[in-house]
Structure 1
Amino acid sequence: MKPLVVPPAAQRDPNSVQVLSAWIAEKQQHCTLKIGMWHDMGRDEPRAWGIFLADTVRHIANALQEQHGVSASDSISAILESLHDELADPTSPATGEFSHGHS
């Protein structure tokens, strides 16, 4: 198992919340999500996830630029194209269950 490190800001902030954890295991994607947090704060949950994912795409693009010299804007374009293609015609189904437990 090869987990990522917890970001220093999350370690410092006693109010930090993990909202997404994603793994490739047994040749498939597995993830846990904290659904409802933004709704409980009176925000539009799908829109808030969109903002969160957009920020995540920017972080990925910046990392690709730093590590591999690929321009961030080119990476964002490629990621968005792949995202739209995958949503329109999935290479595999998204299966699993949602647990309503709270932590």
Structure 2
Amino acid sequence: MKPLVVPPAAQRDEKSVQMLSAWIAENGLHCSLKIGMWQENGRSEAPAWGILLADTIRHIANALQENYGQAVPDTIASVLESLHNELDEPTSATEGDFSPGHS
């Protein structure tokens, strides 16, 4: 396993919360999700995840620009096109169980 570096801000902030981890393993995607945190704080869970995913896409676009010179708007458009295509016609099934955990 090749873990990613925990961002310095997350290391400094004792209230930081890991919301999503994703791995490619055994030829598929495997995720750990922190579901329920927003709901428990009086917010709708789905729109909050939408904001998290939008921010993540912007981070991806910025990283691709910094590392490979790809234009941020082009990357965002490409990611969104791929996202919509995958949601409309999945290339693989989503399998697995969800076990909510709180820490």
Aligning the two structures, in what range does the TM-score lie when normalised by the shorter sequence?
over 0.9
Q: How far 1:27 sits from its partner (Å)?
A: 1.2
**1:40 maps to which residue?**
40
Bigger relative contact order, structure 1 or 2, given CA contacts below 8 A and separation 6+? 2
In 1, Cα distance between equivalents of 2:3 and 2:25:
12
Counterpart of 1:90 in structure 2 is 90
Q: CA RMSD in A?
A: 0.6
Separation of aligned partners in 1, 2:100 and 2:6? 24
Q: Percent identity?
A: 68
Matched to 1:52, the amino acid is L
Which residue in the other structure is 2:31 paired with? 31
The one-letter code matched in structure 2 to 1:26 is E
**Offset, 1:101:** 2.8
- Residue aligning to 2:4: 4
How many residue pairs match? The answer is 103
TM-score by length of 1: 0.98
Q: CA deviation at 1:18?
A: 0.3
Q: Conserved in 1, the CA contact under 8 Å of 2:34 and 2:100? A: no
Aligned to 1:54: 54
In structure 2, stretches of 5+ residues that fail to align are none
Pair 1:13-2:13 in alignment: yes
TM-score (norm. length: structure 2): 0.98
Q: Name stretches of at least 5 consecutive residues in structure 1 with no aligned partner.
A: none
